[in-house]
Structure 1
Amino acid sequence: MKLKYKKIILLVTMSSMGIGLITLSLSNPKGKEPNNVKQQTILSEQQEDKEEEQAETGIIKITDGLTDDGTLLENAYPDINELIKKYLEARVACDMDTIKNLVSSTSTISLETLQKESEYIESYNNISCYTIKAPDNESFVVYVYEELKIVGIDTLAPGMIRLYVRVNPDGKPVIYFGQVEDETIDFIEATGNDIKVIQLIESVNKKLEEAMTSDKNLKAFIEGLENTAKNISKEKVKE
């Protein structure tokens, strides 16, 4: 399964399935109209009531119960926010011991890869988690907004990561890397057609373009990554 990119810039492949790609820019598939635009645009009175209640009561904890299936929520689950923050910090620190406690499997993560990343990734900043709860009521697709500090470049690069998070029986969320059912893959892919996700991705694209315009060093770095990714894609086609 793959994400469609406005700019094909893959910094790190976090899963052999393609779930959880660190990218600097994402966009919805060109020419493909979201199949649930009407559903997501016109909320039922019941959904509106739930959103009003959330606004009044504050953020939602996983242990508080599961609400709003299929709805994109911003920073709604503190446990997930903390999980993602620790995971990204551990990647920068090349801390495999910590990562092992945050993911379902480290089979697709190597210390060598983390060390290579740390040569140009200094930190992840201003992290926000946008979650969509799966129908199984035990997992989430998480669109993670972050601003990447690249070594030697002053301007932060806005980006987005898509991760799949599952909640253990003890209520602890973990980033899941492994085999999943076809239905789960379909659900993860379908979240990319959610109108709110599309709007979120477009806003990240815009922020990245603005950052590149303001900093020629950032622009050169990103364009260099883009060209490298394109060359890799061409080589794979030849194979």
Structure 2
Amino acid sequence: MFVKLRKSTVVVIITSWILFFVAAFLAYVKLDQIRQERLTNEKIFQQTTQKNTAQNVIKETNDAVKAKKKDPDAEKKAVEDFMKTYYKLVQKNDLTNLKSMVEDTNELEKNQKAIHQYVKKYDDLTYLVKKGADDESFIVYVTYKMKIKKIATLAPGMTSYYVMKKGDTFCIYNNQKHDTDEITDAKKESQNSKEIKKLTKQINKKYDQALKQDKKLKQFFEGN
């Protein structure tokens, strides 16, 4: 038996289906929007996390470099090690390697000629590293007992060096004629400090005692 629906009933049914599909579509759109927003937020979070991690690594690396740069003890130790190597080469008369450590190679050759001719060895070396004209330079006071060839008594002495950073290593400015006004002022200020005056006085006293003790040593230095 076929039941004929009234026109109004058909309209209601069709309208209901339309509303149902519209509601379903809107719900789908809303869910897709929520899903896209969640994926976007997750991506932003991942990018932010990666960026922050990278920035933290860079910051930690830079901080480590700065800390190393600003560590005065580490710098002084590096300068001291450089000077220890220098004196080992001086005693070996290793001009090839010494030339890479100084600013004036001609001055080095003259000094080495005199040292090699008269000095047998250096004993009891100590190194006192002080600040130079800026953060890239240092003044090093080396004290020692010098053994002159054919003379028994050791001669106490002290030599100062102006050392500047040169890339990953250092360079000794071994010709005073090349000193700038800043270097000259830094040397004077350092030499006039209480610590260096006291050290100089101690070395001079030991030197005078050695000369009194050994006439040959006195003749060598004073030519009497």
TM-score band w.r.t. shorter chain: 0.5 to 0.7
The 3-state SS of whatever aligns with 1:219 is helix
Structure 1 Cα separation of the partners of residues 111 and 161 of structure 2: 18
Structure 2 Cα separation of the partners of residues 116 and 160 of structure 1: 17
Higher relative contact order (CA 8 A, sep 6+): 1
How many pairs were matched up? 156
Specify which of 103, 112, 124 is matched with residue 126 of structure 1: 124
Structure 2 Cα separation of the partners of residues 78 and 63 of structure 1: 12
**1:65 offset after TM fit, Å?**
2.8
TM-aligned CA distance change 1:64 to 1:128, over 3 Å: farther
Structure 1 Cα separation of the partners of residues 72 and 90 of structure 2: 31
Aligned-residue RMSD, C-alpha: 2.7
Question: 1:89·1:123 contact (CA, 8 Å) conserved in 2?
Answer: no
Q: What is the TM-score with the length of structure 2 in the denominator?
A: 0.61
Q: How does 1:1-239 map to 2 (within 5 A)?
A: 63=68, 65-67=70-72, 77-110=76-109, 113-170=111-168, 172-177=169-174, 179-224=178-223
Question: 1:145·1:161 contact (CA, 8 Å) conserved in 2?
Answer: yes
Structure 2 Cα separation of the partners of residues 67 and 81 of structure 1: 12
Structure 1 Cα separation of the partners of residues 103 and 188 of structure 2: 20
Question: 1:127·1:144 contact (CA, 8 Å) conserved in 2?
Answer: yes
Q: What is the TM-score with the length of structure 1 in the denominator?
A: 0.57
**1:113 offset after TM fit, Å?**
5.0
**Aligned sequence identity (%):** 31
- Structure 2 stretches of 5 or more lacking a match? 1-66
Question: 1:147·1:156 contact (CA, 8 Å) conserved in 2?
Answer: yes
**1:185 offset after TM fit, Å?**
1.6
Question: 1:121·1:151 contact (CA, 8 Å) conserved in 2?
Answer: yes
Structure 2 Cα separation of the partners of residues 164 and 107 of structure 1: 17
The 3-state SS of whatever aligns with 2:101 is coil
Structure 1 Cα separation of the partners of residues 71 and 138 of structure 2: 11
Q: Which has the larger radius of gyration?
A: 2
The 3-state SS of whatever aligns with 2:106 is coil
Larger helix fraction of residues: 2
Q: What one-letter code is carried by the residue in structure 1 that aligns with 2:219?
A: A
**1:188 offset after TM fit, Å?**
1.3
- Structure 1 stretches of 5 or more lacking a match? 1-61, 69-75, 228-239
TM-aligned CA distance change 1:218 to 1:77, over 3 Å: same
**1:210 offset after TM fit, Å?**
1.7
